[in-house]
Amino acid sequence: MLPRRRNVRLVLTIGVVAWVAGLFGSWIGAELAEDDITPARTPSTLGIVAAAPREQQLPTLDVYAVAATIAPSVVSIHAQVSRDGVLGAGSGSGVVLTADGEILTNAHVVADATTVTVLVPGETEPRPAVLLAIDEVHDLALLRIEADGLRPATFADPADIHVGDAVVSVGYALDLDGDPTVAVGIVSALHRASSDATKALKGLIQTDAAISSGNSGGPLVNALGQVVGITTFIALDQPGVSANGVGFAISNAEALPQIEQLRAAATQAVPPAEAFLGVSLADRIDGGTGALVQEVVAGSAAADAGLQVGDIVLAVDEEDVSGRAALIATIRGHVPQDHITLSVRRDGDDFTLTVTLGTRPTE
């Protein structure tokens, strides 16, 4: 969750769901659909279409042109779930990565699904999909359908996005019939972070472009129709706190490396181990930045490095830590035995600690 001083309820935009439950899971590759046509159960060997860094400013936003550019690369996703004997269904959106049927979406759209189908733009019948890999920590999943000649989306260079840029969200909001919903806004902020029991996200793009249930996994695009992020959740009102036009997308800086990690995970027999620092954290309540250490696990990497209760972690490898969520997301982006440097403040003094990360204990 975001820092408590911004205590706004964050809601995943999974779509129309017939049950309410925590989304859980791990890296898996599974057979999720059986049909006359069986999708490939291996990642595509085609590369992601990535734009070169821009040398000129973005053009004035032409929403019609942007929608025409990106719409053929946005698919509708439906998932059937059976959990503890309870049947459920959900919907979301996805982005075409390759012409031969590889698709990126949010993990929470397809977590624990028994079957997944994908409706390609211009078609009337959904295609069965295979879940190649899922990473719930980063809320991303990789699907594949049997296809040839799909139109891959183009991903903008991660550095080519700035606060104030005009953006368009595209996705199958509310699972409405027909073409995807298009909504206009701007980039409201960059480098947001969020975490909960299952996921830890950093480098998020905040936008006021409308994001509704069913948009999850769909693209946030710039004035050239290039993907700048994958829409993932929105903030909603709660007693005493009002949220208006506060949505979030996983930025290309975070998503693009994870696509390669998902491809690699799809070929692994066992899930990769998770890094473990060994602390309990809280956000500061005095308005300052950094993550407050509330507990240090005995024998953990944090304890071995000398981290103490009351320390404030300000940065990891010279990358600023805005709060608890940002630190959690950063650690989960590493693997066991990685060496990191923590910038720490203790009793008003600043210093650094070198940490060799451990392996997260199994539950």
Residue with the bigger pLDDT between 27 and 300: it is: 300
pLDDT for position 8: 46
Please count the helices (runs of H) and the strands (runs of E) in the chain.
Answer: 5, 21
- What the block records as the tokens of 144 is 């594949």
CB 229 within 8 A of CB 219: yes
Number of Cβ atoms within 10 Å of the Cβ of 250: 26
pLDDT in tens, 68-122: 999 999 999 999 987 777 888 889 999 999 999 999 999 999 988 999 999 999 9
Return the CA Rg of the chain: 20
Distance separating alpha carbons of residues 359 and 286, to the nearest angstrom: 32
Tokens standing for 212? 């509704």
- Given this model, what pLDDT does residue 325 score? 87
Res 225: pLDDT: 97
Distance CA(59)–CA(293), nearest Å, equals 46
Choose among 183, 190, 12: nearest CA to 111: 12
Active site residue 216: yes
Is 108 designated active site? yes
- Mean pLDDT calculated for residue range 155-181: 95
Parallel/antiparallel/unpaired status of strands 247-251 and 349-356: unpaired
CATH architecture of the domain with range 275-359: Roll (2.30)
Topology, domain 1-272: Thrombin, subunit H (2.40.10)
Residue of 78, 108, 138, 334 marked active site? 108
Q: Percentage of the chain with pLDDT > 90?
A: 66
Do 169 and 222 form a contact (C-beta atoms < 8 A)? no
User: How high is the mean pLDDT of the chain?
Assistant: 86
Helix (H) or strand (E) holding 261: helix 252-266
Please state the rounded mean pLDDT for residues 174-190: 94
DSSP 207: E
Of 8-17, 83-92, 153-162, where does the model show the most confidence?
A: 153-162
Could you say which of 216, 251, 300, 322 is catalytic? 216
pLDDT per position as a tens digit, 24-83: 333 344 444 444 456 778 999 999 999 999 999 999 999 999 999 999 999 999 999 877
Residue 75 corresponds to which tokens in the numbers above? 């698919």
- Give dist(CA 163, CA 187) in Å, integer: 5
Helices (H), the chain: 63-70, 107-110, 252-266, 301-305, 324-332
**Tens digit of pLDDT for each residue in 201-249?**
889 999 999 998 899 999 999 999 999 999 998 877 667 776 778 999 9
Q: Give strand ranges (E) for 49-180.
A: 74-83, 86-96, 102-105, 113-119, 127-135, 140-145, 166-171
pLDDT of residue 196: 72
* From 139, 160, 165, 283, the catalytic residue: 139
> Is the model's pLDDT at 287 over the cut of 70?
yes
* pLDDT score for 237: 64
Report the pLDDT value the prediction gives residue 169, as an integer from 0 to 100.
97
- Token digits of residue 264: 């690699």
pLDDT at 137: 87
Q: Residues with Cβ < 8 Å from 326, sequence gap 6 or more?
A: 193, 202, 291
CA distances from residue 259 to 47, 186, 287, 342 in whole angstroms, order as listed: 11, 25, 35, 27
Q: Which residue has the higher pLDDT, 33 or 200?
A: 200
- Other Cβ atoms less than 10 A from the Cβ of 12: the count is 21
Nearest to 219 by CA among 298, 287, 151: 151
Each domain of the chain, given as residue ranges in start order, spans 1-272, 275-359
Quickly state the pLDDT bin for 199 (edges 50, 70, 90).
confident
